[in-house]
């Protein structure tokens, strides 16, 4: 029976654990606005909360499937979970 070297086992374990422990990055309002406008949303409709950095909040009335997919794709690439909040804005 061949056993792998102990340093290889430790290295693999460290690599697996460090991937899980990567802290979420807070994006600036400017960065989020660039993504929002690139996905067809208005300024300020994408936001991150300091207390829940892994959540990307999208506040938009009836986003199209393309807008939802665009935001979700960017969030996934950046290790974030997308939350879509449907709001009914008053007409006036």
Q: What is the pLDDT of residues 57-92, one digit of tens each?
A: 999 888 999 999 999 999 999 999 999 988 776 776
Give, as one character, the DSSP assignment of residue 62. S
Predicted local distance difference test score (pLDDT) of residue 83: 94
Q: pTM to 2 decimals?
A: 0.70
Where do we find the tokens 């400017």? Answer: 30
Predicted confidence band at 11 (pLDDT cuts at 50, 70, 90)? very low
Domain boundaries, the chain: 24-86
Range 48-60 burial, b when 16+ CB lie within 10 A, else e: beeeeeeebbbbb
Point out which residues pair with 49 in neighbouring strands: 52
């Amino acid at each position: 029976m061949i056993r792998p070297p102990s340093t290889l086992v430790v290295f693999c374990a460290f690599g697996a654990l460090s991937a899980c422990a990567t802290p979420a990055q807070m994006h600036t309002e400017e960065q989020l606005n660039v993504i929002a406008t690139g996905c067809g949303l208005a300024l300020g409709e994408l936001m991150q909360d300091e207390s829940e950095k892994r959540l990307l909040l999208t506040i938009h009335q009836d986003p199209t499937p393309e807008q939802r997919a665009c935001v979700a794709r960017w969030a996934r690439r950046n290790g974030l979970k997308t939350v879509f909040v449907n709001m009914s804005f008053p007409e006036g």
